[in-house]
Copies of this chain bind each other. A is one copy, B any other.
Amino acid sequence: MVYRRTHQVVKRLAARRSAILAAARDAAAEGGMSAVQIAPVAVRANVAAGTVYRYFPSKADLISELIAEVSRDELAAIRRAADAAPGPSSALAAAVTTVAVHVLSQRRLAWGILAEPVDVDVTASRLASRREIAGEIASRIDAAVRAGHLPAQDTALAATALLGALHEALVGPLAPDNLEDPARLRDAVQTVTLLALRAVGVMDARARGLVVQAVLPAKTLVGA
Between-chain CB contacts (< 8 Å), 18 pairs: A115-B115, A117-B117, A123-B173, A151-B204, A157-B169, A157-B191, A160-B175, A161-B165, A161-B168, A164-B167, A164-B168, A164-B169, A164-B172, A165-B165, A165-B199, A167-B168, A168-B168, A201-B204
A119: interface (CB < 8 Å): yes
Please list the 6 inter-chain residue pairs (A to B) with the smallest Cβ-Cβ separation, ordered nearest first: A164-B168, A117-B117, A199-B199, A161-B165, A165-B165, A161-B169
- Count of A interface residues, CB-CB < 8 Å: 42
Query: Is A118 part of the binding interface, using a Cβ–Cβ cutoff of 8 Å?
Result: yes
Q: Is A134 an interface residue (CB 8 A)?
A: yes
Interface of chain A, main secondary structure: helix
User: How many angstroms between the C-alpha atoms of A130 and B198 in the bound complex?
Assistant: 24
Which of B126, B127, B134, B174 is A131 in contact with, Cβ under 8 Å?
B174
Closest B residue by C-beta to A207: B201
Give the distance to chain B from A184, nearest Cβ to Cβ, in Å. Answer: 11
Interface contact B204-A195, CB-CB below 8 Å: no
The residue on B at minimum CB distance from A123 is B173
Residues of A in contact with B (beta carbons under 8 Å apart): 115-119, 123, 126-127, 130-131, 134, 151, 153-154, 156-158, 160-169, 172-176, 188, 191-192, 195-196, 198-201, 204
A173 cross-chain contacts in B, Cβ below 8 A: 123, 126-127, 130
Give min CB distance, A41 to chain B, whole Å. 19
